[in-house]
Amino acid sequence: MLRNNSGSSKSNKDSNSYNSKKIFLPIFIGVGVIVWLFVSEFEVESFKEISFTGQSILFILLGFFFIFGRDFGLIWRFKAMTDHQISWHQAFHIHVLSEFTSAVTPSAIGGSGLVVLFLNKEGISAAKSTTIMIANLLLDELFFILICPIIFLVLPIQDVFNSTSIISSTIETVFWVVYSIICLWATFLFVILFFKPDWISGIVGFLFKIPFLRRWRDQIGTFSSQLTYASADFRNKSIRFWLIAFGATVLTWSSRFLVVNALFMAFSNVGNHLVIFARQILLWVVMVASPTPGGSGLSEYAFKEYYNDISLGVGPILVITIIWRIISYYLYLFFGAIVIPRWLKKSFGKAK
């Protein structure tokens, strides 16, 4: 008993330490950039323009509603992709855990890889968890691949990239590079999901030749056969299944980007909300290249610069930037800090 309690105590201590370190870095970077923006561009008259009216509060609440719509879309997709083998409660935990890991890792890395672990700990086989992760990634990339050309068809390119911003040329260059990579990445995901699951097995088999992983090599054969079966299962899914999954994906991303529209409506009667929405999509694509955890720091600065042509003044734009990051980023750090210790105790505590 003493040994088990000691192990459990050590596990809790380590997980708490891990959470504190992982949460502190992105918060420090993000808050630091916001403070720098305030200090460098502080003008009393600009901040006098800010007024929190009943309308402001209503649209800020609408922003929260949109982010919860995004959460629902992701949770719904997890249930659909597992053929409803997990409960809504389990899907919620998986969602919060994956969002937290995405928030504390560089955007280019993300937390998608750990979704396999989260799903597996909720009773989904490792092979099926792997195919679900790949399918979700493919659906996300497909959304951006399809929506970006539509944006350029309906809006002038100079409006989308904000030609008045000092970073517009940089954003445009990075966008086209990242968009090209996304197209190639989506093609690769499509091939390994539906036609070449053995490529994944080969990569996993190679990794398990590493000395400290060799003791699990005997299980690779089982994993490979299950992966082939899971791939065939996805390949034979109905059109209705994929329409539901992609519908949840569209709901997820659209809701996320509509948060910014709601926040602009809270402080102004700005007209072209389609431009605001489109810029969010392009900014998100660009932030994929961010080396900082969750794009912290760069997101705050790029957001403020990217929308500087909208006649709100410095004060309102900075306030919108802060609220936007709280709703779409720091909220998940908070929820993750609550959920992760309990999930670790439930998932790994019995093994101690």
pLDDT tier at 306, thresholds 50, 70, 90: low
- What pLDDT is recorded for position 44? 47
- Count of residues making up the chain: 352
DSSP 293: B
DSSP 212: G
- What pLDDT is recorded for position 255? 95
- What pLDDT is recorded for position 144? 95
Looking at per-residue pLDDT, the higher value among 275 and 138 belongs to: 138
**b/e for 277-296, b at 16 or more Cβ within 10 A?**
bbbbbbbbbbbbbbebbbbb
Angle (CA) 194 208 349, round 5°: 95
The rounded mean pLDDT for the chain is 78
Collapsing DSSP to helix, strand or coil, 106 comes out as: strand
For residue range 35-51, list pLDDT tens digits in order. 554 555 444 454 555 66
Residue 22 structure tokens: 């992982």
For residue range 156-183, list pLDDT tens digits in order. 888 888 766 666 677 788 889 999 999 9
pLDDT at 217 over 50: yes
* Terminal-residue alpha carbon distance, the chain: 11
Contact 95, 136 (CB under 8 A): no
- What pLDDT is recorded for position 6? 43
pLDDT at 60 over 70: yes
Rounded Cα gap, residues 193 and 200, in angstroms: 9
- What pLDDT is recorded for position 229? 86
Looking at per-residue pLDDT, the higher value among 87 and 302 belongs to: 87
pLDDT tier at 4, thresholds 50, 70, 90: very low
Rounded Cα gap, residues 68 and 70, in angstroms: 5
Contact 135, 227 (CB under 8 A): no
Residue written as token pair 């610069």: 305
Rounded Cα gap, residues 60 and 263, in angstroms: 6
Looking at per-residue pLDDT, the higher value among 285 and 163 belongs to: 285
pLDDT tier at 135, thresholds 50, 70, 90: very high
Among 35-39, 240-244, 265-269, 321-325, whose mean pLDDT is lowest? Answer: 35-39
DSSP 215: G
For residue range 74-107, list pLDDT tens digits in order. 999 999 999 999 999 999 989 988 888 887 776 5
